[in-house]
């Protein structure tokens, strides 16, 4: 039986993407028709899971005109949602590709303040879910008004209720998550180095640093994203390196979230750690084959997974 999944996105976005030839300053640029897609860490994980035939509930803050658009876009993608209304307008990000050089420019907008009362409502909504989700994915940045310690408290209660925590965040929020300990952590080399006190990590030393986090009880599984070099999955008993397949890269938007979706899909079905690592790399690599903010296609992900499994 497939495990139940909740994804949490406290600072979601609508990603607006377009393309134009030859970006130059002080010149009127004639862009292509923009494309609007849901965005934010946990939301992208839920979108990826739908592509893999796995249901999850996407919990996120929703405010104003952009919040309504975000809800509509997710409904079109058949993502089960649990929006929590807030006063602040949901943010937009802007991505533009210069077609003359195939260079991508990504403009990330800050979120607006979440009030203390709204933060309390979000907390109670999550912690009162019945039944408690088997897997909870906490991914993405924090909006202004929510302190990093908020995430630590959330992790603590969800763990006590028996949920497996998958975390893909950064900065102070990641530090709070590590204090509580999680089931699965997905840092990149820079984040891993910062939290193990090893500033100059490379592919060869990443597995040792990841093992340190496991030994310290901060995560049962650490998956280190190595970008074009693939990923390391480290647990108490295993260290698995999965190389990234060679693909034509069009965009890196959502590659990390796609990787998390791939891994969570295997976790939900009760697959092995090797399968988890391979599916994570397959989905992350497949996402780079899509233009704009399109995440991955199931066909490309499965093709790459089969290649990695040979």
Question: Where in the sequence numbering do the catalytic residues fall?
Answer: 257
How far apart are alpha carbons 63 and 124 in whole angstroms? 18
Give the whole-angstrom CA distance, residue 279 versus residue 289: 15
Burial of 37 (0-12, 13-18, 19+ CB in 10 A): buried
- Among candidate residues 204, 292, 221, 219, the one with its CA nearest the CA of residue 255: 292
Q: Give the dihedral sign, CA 43/265/290/104.
A: positive
First CA to last CA distance, the chain = 27
Closest CA to 217 of 264, 248, 172, 179: 179
What Cα–Cα distance (Å) separates residue 188 from each residue in 30, 268, 271, 285? 36, 23, 23, 15
Dihedrals phi, psi of 63, to nearest 5 degrees = -145, 140
């Amino acid at each position: 039986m497939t495990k139940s999944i909740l994804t949490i996105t406290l600072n979601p976005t609508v990603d607006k993407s377009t393309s134009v030839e030859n970006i130059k300053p002080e010149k009127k640029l004639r862009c292509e028709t923009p494309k609007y897609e849901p965005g934010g860490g946990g939301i992208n994980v839920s979108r990826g899971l739908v592509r893999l035939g796995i249901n999850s509930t996407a919990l996120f803050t929703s405010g104003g005109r952009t919040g309504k658009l975000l809800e509509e876009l997710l409904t079109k993608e058949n993502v089960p949602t649990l929006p929590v209304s807030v006063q602040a307008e949901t943010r937009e990000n802007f991505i533009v590709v210069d077609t003359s050089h195939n260079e991508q420019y990504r403009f990330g907008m800050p979120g607006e303040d979440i009030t203390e009362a709204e933060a309390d409502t979000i907390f109670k909504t999550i912690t009162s879910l019945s039944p408690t989700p088997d897997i909870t994915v906490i991914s993405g940045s924090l909006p202004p008004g929510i302190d990093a310690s908020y995430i630590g408290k959330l992790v603590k209660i969800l763990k006590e209720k028996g949920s497996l925590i998958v975390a893909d965040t950064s900065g102070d929020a990641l530090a709070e998550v590590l204090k509580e300990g999680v089931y699965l952590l997905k840092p990149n080399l820079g984040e891993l180095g910062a939290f193990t006190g090893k500033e100059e990590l490379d592919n060869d030393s990443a597995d040792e640093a990841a093992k340190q986090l496991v030994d310290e009880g901060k995560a049962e599984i650490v998956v280190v994203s190595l970008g074009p070099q693939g990923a390391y999955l480290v647990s108490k008993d295993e260290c698995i390196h999965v190389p990234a397949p060679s693909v034509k890269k069009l965009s890196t938007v959502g590659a990390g979230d796609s990787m998390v979706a791939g891994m969570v899909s295997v976790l939900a079905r009760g697959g092995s750690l090797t399968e988890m690592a391979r599916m994570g790399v397959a989905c992350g690599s497949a996402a780079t084959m899509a233009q704009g903010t399109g995440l991955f296609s199931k066909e490309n992900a499965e093709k790459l997974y089969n290649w990695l499994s040979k």
